[in-house]
Structure 1
Amino acid sequence: MSTVLVVAKAPVPGLVKTRLTCSYSSVDAARIAAAALRDTLTAALAVPGTRCAVALGGRLEDAVDGSGLRRLFDRCDVFGQSEGGLAERLVAAHRRAAELGDGPVLQIGMDTPQVRPELLALGLEASRRSAALGPAEDGGWWALGVPEGAADRLACLLAVPMSTASTGSRTRRALADAGLVPQELPELRDVDRPDDVRAVAAACAPDSWFRRTAETLRAEQERCA
Structure 2
Amino acid sequence: MGARPRRALASLATRVSTRILVFAKAPVAGRVKTRLIPLLGAEAAARLARRMLCSTLRTARATGLTVELCGEPDARTWGPLSLGVRLSAQGDGDLGERLARAARRTIEGGETALLIGGDCPTLDAAHLRAAAAALDTHDAVLHPAADGGYVLLGLRRFDGRLFEDMPWSSDRVAALTIQRIAASGWSVDLRETLRDIDEPSDIDSLPLAMRPHLRDCRSL
Q: TM-score range by the shorter chain?
A: 0.7 to 0.9
Q: TM-score when scaled to structure 1?
A: 0.82
Moved more, 77-86 or 175-184: 175-184
Contact 1:11 1:60 in 2 (8 A): no
The aligned amino acid for 2:146 is E
Identify the residue that residue 103 of structure 1 maps to in structure 2: 111
1:41 aligns with 2:57: yes
Distance 1:83 1:29, change over 3 A: same
Percent of aligned pairs with the same amino acid? 32
Distance across 1 between alignment mates of 2:58 and 2:101: 24
Question: Which residue number in structure 1 is paired with residue 13 of structure 2?
Answer: none
Contact residue 128 and residue 146 of structure 1 kept, 8 A? no
SS at match of 1:84: coil
State the SS of the aligned residue for 2:203: helix
Q: Distance in 2 between matches of 1:146 and 1:61?
A: 25
Equivalent residue of 1:44, what SS? helix
In the alignment, what sits opposite 1:217? 214
Secondary structure of 1:22's counterpart equals helix
Q: Return the match for 1:122 from 130, 135, 139.
A: 130
- Are the counterparts in 1 of residues 62 and 125 from structure 2 also a CA contact under 8 Å? yes
TM-score by length of 2: 0.83
- Sort the Cα spacing of 1:12 and 1:192 in 2 relative to 1 into closer, same or farther, 3 A: same
Question: 1:69 corresponds to which residue?
Answer: 81
Question: Over aligned residues, Cα RMSD in angstroms?
Answer: 2.2
- Describe the shift of the 1:11–1:59 C-alpha distance in structure 2 as closer, same or farther (beyond 3 A): farther
**Displacement of 1:85:** 1.0
Equivalent position to 1:155, from 137, 150, 161 = 161
Could you tell me which amino acid in structure 1 is paired with residue 72 of structure 2? Answer: G
Determine if contact 2:142/2:191 at 8 Å carries over to the other structure: yes
- Structure 2: distance between partners of 1:216 and 1:171: 34
Q: Gapped runs of 5+ residues in structure 2?
A: 1-16
The 8 Å contact of residues 140 and 165 in structure 1, kept in 2 or not, is answered as yes
Instruction: State the Cα deviation string for residues 69-96 of structure 1 (Å, max 9, x = none).
Output: 13x1xx2221101211111111012123
Map 1:49-88 → 2, pairs under 5 A = 50-58=65-73, 67-70=79-82, 72=83, 75-88=84-97
Q: Which runs of 5+ in 1 are unaligned?
A: 203-210
Q: Which residue of 1 aligns with 2:143?
A: 134
Equivalent residue number for residue 21 of structure 1: 37
Q: Cα gap change, 1:59/1:93 in structure 2, threshold over 3 Å: closer, same or farther?
A: closer
* Matches of 2:42 and 2:75, distance apart in 1: 16
